[in-house]
Copies of this chain bind each other. A is one copy, B any other.
Amino acid sequence: MGDKAARPGRPRDPRADAAILQAARDLMAEGGLSNLTVEGTAQRAGVAKTTVYRRYPTKLTLAVAAVAALISPEEPYGENLEDVVGNGLAQFTGDFASSDGQSAFLSVAAAASGDGVAHALFTSQVLGPIEEKLQRSLGLAGASASSFAFDVLMGTMIHRLVIRQLPLDDDFEGRFVELTRFVTDGDAP
């Protein structure tokens, strides 16, 4: 029989789950990790602090969940590599390189890097989905990316768009397409 073991006591309020995640996501989007506080999340979600801590034992785990929730669900689209890459860059920029510079992705990646549990969570809940999305995107153009290619493509975007905060212009996009072609084993001629 399923896992609806009907644990004793009052069941968790699913509305709280949603409200907390939404609040955390919003705070993160507004001002990065430093703008995300457990207290603030609880207040904005209309929930007690305990209720947050029951779900996320640590600020960092909450932050990882919030970043994961920041990944836009829309798939890149397009038929040739140019379009696919263009759409992918645009979505990455929109999700993680907000104009005010406060990058949720980067600060959480940094914080998680010093905490084994959080790093594992970050890898599975943030990096994993991003890699899958990348894979599906490239698939549209008949290419596929190795683990190394993932490092190259993600790293380049991060360094350019988040760390250096330089704009996403045509020149960069063009070179990025070439880079993608080089690093993936596409069957394009």
List chain A positions with a Cβ less than 8 A from chain B: 31-34, 100-103, 106-107, 109-111, 113-116, 119, 123, 127, 148, 150-152, 154-160, 162-165, 172, 175, 179, 182-183
**Is there contact, CB below 8 Å, between B151 and A159?**
yes
Closest Cβ of chain B to A50, distance in Å, is 11
- Give the distance in Å from the alpha carbon of A165 to the alpha carbon of B164 in the complex: 21
In the complex, are the beta carbons of B109 and A106 less than 8 A apart?
yes
B residues less than 8 Å from A156 (CB atoms): 151-152, 155-156
Do A155 and B148 touch (CB < 8 A)? no
CB<8 Å pairs between A and B, sample of 29: A32-B110, A32-B113, A34-B111, A100-B114, A101-B114, A101-B116, A101-B119, A102-B113, A102-B114, A103-B110, A107-B107, A107-B110, A107-B111, A107-B113, A109-B110, A113-B163, A123-B164, A127-B163, A127-B164, A151-B159, A151-B164, A152-B152, A152-B155, A155-B155, A155-B160, A155-B163, A156-B156, A158-B159, A182-B182
Asked if B113 contacts A162 (CB within 8 A), the reply is yes
Q: A110–B33 contact, CB under 8 A? A: yes
Total copies of the chain:
4
Tell me the nearest residue of chain B to A175, going by C-beta.
Answer: B148
Q: What's the Cα separation between A19 and B95 when bound, in Å? A: 41
Q: Secondary structure at chain A's binding surface: helix, strand, loop or mixed?
A: helix
Decide: A160 and B165 in contact? CB cutoff 8 A.
no
Whether B183 contacts A179 by the Cβ 8 Å rule is yes
- Whole-angstrom CA separation of A149 from B185 in the bound complex: 20
CB neighbours of A179 from chain B (8 A) = 152, 182-183
Taken together as a complex, chains A and B put the C-alpha atoms of A150 and B155 apart, in Å, by 11
Residues of B contacting A116 in the complex (Cβ-Cβ under 8 angstroms): 101
